[in-house]
Structure 1
Amino acid sequence: MEKTYKLKDLILYFLKLGAIGFGGPVALVSYMHRDLVEKHKWITEEDYKEGLALAQLAPGPLAAQLSIYLGYVHYRIIGATLVGLAFVLPSFLMVLGIGYAYVKTGGLPWMQAVFYGIGAAVIGIIAISSYKLSKKSLGKDWLLWGIAIIVAIATFVTEREILWLMLAGGLVVWLYKAPPKFISGKATILSPVLLQITTAFTLNGKLIQTGWFFFKAGAFVFGSGLAIVPFLYGGVVKEYQWLNDQQFLDAVAVAMITPGPVVITVGFIGYLVAGLPGACVAALATFLPCYLFTILPAPYFKKFGKHPSVKAFVDGITAAAIGAIIGAVFVLGKRQITDMLAAAIALITILVLLKFRKLQEPVIIVVAAILGLFIKSWL
């Protein structure tokens, strides 16, 4: 498929998505499909599915990796680089501003009230997004649905994304639909596993130490913000004691109330640890691995992506990825929906989105934030 758009069009789209795209990785990857595949038709369904599968296989934040891959599809390295920067920059600037205010005021007491309303609405938004993504990608294929359901249950029970299940999903569909006539390089499958090996390597200097920790966070953690949060907590709170529990929870809340990738919370954490330099180092170190692990295998993914065996493997990986996303919805819902009012906000959000399909998500987020402040302040 020849490109029907200019690179600046894609950059502007991802600047906008990074500025107003709420809902975390589930919603963001759904928005990309809705806008770039269905609406504008800039990206084919196959390219999108290949990008989603590669993003799920490689370490790092799912939505950011998919954006980098979609930039690579027609504009290669320059497209991947500029699109990735455009997607991350708006939310990074926002968390810098919030971090500055947080330090100056000694905390954000209103944040929990705002997050109460927004968090409940976000559950509704991502529930609808995952439903649409499942319906579109899985269709009526019982095998793909079976894989998605198994991975969803596993994700919900363990509260983490399991790499070997992702690989197993691809292998099952591969062997069932297109028994292989060749064996691909083992490094493609083994490299993500090897990347999970931890290291005790330490360096002097807070900025270097910060950069190394967040590089590991980006390189060793697979999937969405749901997967990276426990890794960050173990490091910044337990190991290095850069933040206390409340500061860390506030950092997660900042990530949820700002648009763009949830992992941008690393910018807020980096700011609290070492100011502006800390924020820049943390963000760069976290996103650098996912950038490299997207653009380096991308040419081979494009070259062999149409092969029946590879296509079957990608379909299985995609089904497993959707299952993990569905499981994450339930995990987030369990944590966020703590009372009847929160449940009501989530349910109303779902009903409103089903009724008014063209309603923009930021409108719902603003209303939910106001409701949260009202409920916590007056009720």
Structure 2
Amino acid sequence: MVTAAAPAYSLGQLVRYMLRLGTFGFGGPVALAGYMRRDLVERLGWISESDFKEGLALAQLAPGPMAAQLAIYLGFVHYRILGATLVGFTFVLPSFVMVVALGWAYAHFGGLSWMQAVFYGVGAAVVGIIAMSAYKLTTKTVGKDKLLWTIFLTLATVTFMTESEIAWLFIAGGLVGWLWRAPPKWLHKGGVNALAAANLAAASGIAAGLDWPLLAQIGAFFTKAGAFVFGSGLAIVPFLYGGVVTEHHWLNDKQFVDAVAVAMITPGPVVITVGFIGYLVAGLPGAVVAALGTFLPCYLFTVIPAPYFKKYGRLPGVKAFVDGITAAAVGAIAGSVIVIAKRSIVDVPTLAIALVTIALLWRFKRLQEPVVVTAAALLGLVVYPLIHSHAI
């Protein structure tokens, strides 16, 4: 029940795992959360089920990219600030390096025409991967609990209909679970402290660009994105579009769509597309400032409330609150699968790729997702030109 005083793994082992996940973990936040649960909770037993659920709940409560926050929290569980810092850095670094390299290629070779074909196949496979991850998360965290299913279905429906993740509904889900399962005997502890602590971090990431107005502008915008956008990569994309394309005119529509495609075909958090956007706007300094601005708030929003989750997380009221938020979070994840599917499943071949991906992952439990993604990319390169010969 209680987190073991002596962890069954070293900090180095966890850092190596997160470096590998950041390098090869495809599928966005839903899939990445599923991988962490499968590997760290089920296969290796390094993280307890309750610690994972607390991390998932906190990642949904706080603004910023869900997968990165979950990884940071899991680093905090046994190794506190040092673990959270090293895990967060190593988890984000590989995909950042990849998108900067792709940004360089994009800027120097005039676009990524081949990427449409790759994204055609990969996008469909990603739908299959995240659908399987959402199914596993649902069965493990919601189970047969009628109250949690009600919260789950409500959030799934709202996310599907609005195509966004509404933060206050996560909190409402937690309150419903708390009031229904453990009527309040202490209104001055636990969740209230954790929520209040989330407001402590506000301004970060812009100092590095004070000597150059454009970098300062980039830092301010992406810090705002990291500090005030709730949910996963799905939620931040409309916000980025409004600022990058409509407000600042840093990119045009096609460049922005290519940036989202880059995020989908590279491993790690989808939000790492900010590195690609930052590179196109202001080169490597722009990429660094954009990434810092986005990820530093999410780091602070995870590390500051984490001790409260650890201290009060086993109290019945807080446990019921966390269970409610978790059900809400998984419901929103399930709804986002449908939203992403609407955008990636565009014809019969993409539907076939998604369904075959689900069937393969269902049948072959040890099948590695990067293998599926690579096969889908190659398939896209073959099939897309045949269907859209005018596009390439």
The aligned residue for residue 298 of structure 1 is 306
Post-superposition CA distance 1:128-168 (Å, at most 9, x none): 11001100111110110110011000000000001111111
Q: Distance in 2 between matches of 1:86 and 1:319?
A: 29
Q: Distance in 1 between matches of 2:193 and 2:148?
A: 25
Contact 2:201 2:300 survives alignment (8 Å): no
Q: Are residue 6 (structure 1) and residue 6 (structure 2) matched?
A: no
Contact 1:22 1:260 survives alignment (8 Å): yes
Q: Distance in 1 between matches of 2:102 and 2:172?
A: 41
Post-superposition CA distance 1:202-261 (Å, at most 9, x none): x87000110010000000101100000011000010000000000000000000000000
Residue 310 of structure 2 aligns to which amino acid in structure 1? K
Partner SS, residue 223 of structure 1 = coil
Q: When the two structures are aligned, how many residues end up with a matched partner?
A: 374
Contact 2:197 2:304 survives alignment (8 Å): no
The aligned residue for residue 241 of structure 1 is 249
The aligned residue for residue 55 of structure 1 is 59
Residue 13 of structure 2 aligns to which amino acid in structure 1? D
The aligned residue for residue 30 of structure 2 is 26
Q: Are residue 149 (structure 1) and residue 153 (structure 2) matched?
A: yes
Match of 2:111 among 82, 107, 113: 107
Match of 1:92 among 96, 101, 104: 96
Q: Distance in 2 between matches of 1:194 and 1:277?
A: 27
Partner SS, residue 173 of structure 2 = helix
Q: Are residue 224 (structure 1) and residue 232 (structure 2) matched?
A: yes
Contact 2:201 2:301 survives alignment (8 Å): no
1:189-208 aligned at under 5 Å gives the runs 189=195, 205-208=213-216
1:1-379 aligned at under 5 Å gives the runs 1=4, 2-184=6-188, 186=192, 188-189=194-195, 205-379=213-387
Contact 1:56 1:62 survives alignment (8 Å): yes
Residue 163 of structure 1 aligns to which amino acid in structure 2? A
1:195 shift after superposition? 9.0
Partner SS, residue 83 of structure 2 = helix
Summarize the Cα distance change of 1:9–1:194 in structure 2 as closer, same or farther, 3 Å threshold. Answer: closer
User: Identity of aligned pairs, percent?
Assistant: 66
1:336 shift after superposition? 1.0
Q: Distance in 2 between matches of 1:274 and 1:178?
A: 52
Contact 1:212 1:285 survives alignment (8 Å): yes
Q: Distance in 2 between matches of 1:250 and 1:194?
A: 35
Partner SS, residue 222 of structure 1 = coil
Q: Distance in 2 between matches of 1:285 and 1:304?
A: 30
Q: CA RMSD in A?
A: 1.6
User: 5+ unaligned residues in a row in structure 1: which ranges?
Assistant: 197-202
Summarize the Cα distance change of 1:247–1:63 in structure 2 as closer, same or farther, 3 Å threshold. Answer: same
Residue 365 of structure 1 aligns to which amino acid in structure 2? V
Partner SS, residue 350 of structure 1 = helix
Residue 386 of structure 2 aligns to which amino acid in structure 1? W
1:342 shift after superposition? 0.7
Post-superposition CA distance 1:291-348 (Å, at most 9, x none): 0000011111100000000000000000000000000000000111111111111011
Partner SS, residue 110 of structure 1 = helix
Q: Distance in 2 between matches of 1:349 and 1:87?
A: 25
The aligned residue for residue 199 of structure 1 is none
Summarize the Cα distance change of 1:109–1:120 in structure 2 as closer, same or farther, 3 Å threshold. Answer: same
Summarize the Cα distance change of 1:289–1:174 in structure 2 as closer, same or farther, 3 Å threshold. Answer: same
1:284 shift after superposition? 0.7
Contact 2:198 2:301 survives alignment (8 Å): no
TM-score by length of structure 2 reads 0.93
1:378 shift after superposition? 2.8
Residue 290 of structure 2 aligns to which amino acid in structure 1? A
Contact 1:195 1:220 survives alignment (8 Å): no
Summarize the Cα distance change of 1:84–1:193 in structure 2 as closer, same or farther, 3 Å threshold. Answer: closer
Contact 2:195 2:305 survives alignment (8 Å): no
Post-superposition CA distance 1:187-209 (Å, at most 9, x none): 6446769999xxxxxx8700011
User: 5+ unaligned residues in a row in structure 2: which ranges?
Assistant: 203-209, 388-392
Q: Distance in 1 between matches of 2:39 and 2:188?
A: 33
Q: Distance in 1 between matches of 2:356 and 2:287?
A: 36
Residue 320 of structure 1 aligns to which amino acid in structure 2? A
Q: Distance in 2 between matches of 1:193 and 1:118?
A: 38
Post-superposition CA distance 1:82-119 (Å, at most 9, x none): 00001000000000110110001010100011000000
TM-score by length of structure 1 reads 0.96
